[in-house]
Each structure stands twice: as C-alpha cells, then as structure tokens.
Amino acid sequence: MKLIIHDLTQKEFQELFPTIPQDIYVVGEGGPQIEKCVGCFMCWTKTPGRCVIEDGYGCLGGIMGQISELILISRVVYGSFSPFVKNVLDRNIGYVLPFFEIRNHEMHHVSRYPDRIKLTAYGYGAGIKDTEKSVFQRIVTANALNYNASVSSAIFLEDIREIADRTEVLS
C-alpha cells in the first residue's frame, strides 16, 4: 500500500493518472480547505496519533503506519515542499511519538509504528535553481531520518507531465 500526497488539482492528477490501483491512497490539494497546524501537540497528548482538527487531513499518520511507501509530489518552493504538501506533513506529526531518542548523533522522535516506509519525493517546476534542488534533497533526507524511513529519494521534474512516464509511482 502507498500514500500519495500531491499539490495538483483533481483534474490535473486524473489526467496524469487516469486509473489508480485500489491499494493507493491519494490526498491532493483539490479537496476541502486544509487548516494549518497550530503546534498544540494534542496529536501526541490528547488523541495520540491523530490531529484534533476535524477537516479530514489529520488522520494520515494512521495510514502512514500501514503503507510501504510515501510519495510526495510537490512544486519546489524555495527548496521546500509547496505550502499544501507541507501543510499535510505538518498536520500528521502524530505518525511519530512525542518521545525523544538520539539517532545519527541528533535528537529525533521515536517511531510509533513498527514498519519502516520508503520515502520518495518528486519536486517539480520550471527553472528550479541548483541551490533549491540541493535544499530539497537535503530536506527529503532529513524527513526520512525523522520518519525513520528505510530509504529516500528526491527526483526533479521540469514539467509535471513527465511524471506520467514514471511507472514506478503506481506500481
């Protein structure tokens, strides 16, 4: 099972991927409005693993606990994910536990779920600068460390339509 988080409209996504296998869960920007994370940490202390804001975007930690791969499809914004994709990630920190441990000589959160995921990020956009690509790659690596992912990769696309040729996305 995979989870795809993307910032395309529903129409754009359907044109790129007309048929989605049953075991792939997709969250995109074309849905209801997403609320921002306000740093209340209740996803750790009140409703463990799930955000208290009921807009449909805060329950993905419980899906990430069941998938083999998390795929992020995002416009590259200053080397970061786009605001929507980042918003979804911010709202689902309940995927990990609040408790701390030292990993790679740095403080990180303890995993909540036993299985380790693969993290793949497709960063797209015309004219992404080399400095932005470098930061994007390093963020994906850092995210993988914080998620305790088994492996991660960042792939750049000058035009989002190129992703339709990437058969591994839905395989």
Partner 1 sequence: MIGIINGSPKAAHSNSGLVADIIQGRLGNTATTVIPTFRWEPGVFDVLDSCEAIILIFPLYVDALPSHLLRFLVEYETSRTAKQSGKLPFYAIGQCGFYEGRQNGLALAVLENFCERAGLLWNGGIGIGGGGCLAASNKSWEKPVVELVEEVVKAVELKQFYRGNPYTSIGIPRLLYVIGGNLSWGMTAKQYHLKRKDLYKRNYTDVKHT
Residues found near partner 1 in the complex (CB under 8 A): 1, 20-26, 36-39, 41-42, 44-50, 59-63, 65-66, 77-84, 86-87, 89-90, 93-94, 97-102, 106-108, 112-113, 129, 131-132, 135, 138-139, 142-143, 146
Q: From the CB of 6, what's the least distance to partner 1, in Å?
A: 14
Query: Which C-beta is closer to partner 1: that of 9 or that of 66?
Result: 66
Q: From the CB of 164, what's the least distance to partner 1, in Å?
A: 18
Q: From the CB of 80, what's the least distance to partner 1, in Å?
A: 5
Q: From the CB of 32, what's the least distance to partner 1, in Å?
A: 15
Helices (H) and strands (E) in the chain, counts: 5, 7
Query: Which C-beta is closer to partner 1: that of 79 or that of 118?
Result: 79
Query: Which C-beta is closer to partner 1: that of 12 or that of 146?
Result: 146
Assess contact for 68 and 23: CB atoms under 8 A. Answer: no
Query: Which C-beta is closer to partner 1: that of 97 or that of 155?
Result: 97
Integer angstrom CA distances of residue 106 from 13, 142, 144: 38, 11, 14
SS3 content of the chain, % helix, strand, coil (to 5): 30, 25, 45
Structure tokens of 14? 């359907």
C-alpha dihedral sign at 33, 38, 39, 44 = negative
Q: From the CB of 153, what's the least distance to partner 1, in Å?
A: 16
Query: Which C-beta is closer to partner 1: that of 24 or that of 155?
Result: 24
Strands of the sheet with 118-124, listed across from one edge: 24-27, 2-6, 69-75, 118-124, 151-157
| CA neighbours closer than 13 Å in the CB half-sphere of residue 135 | 11
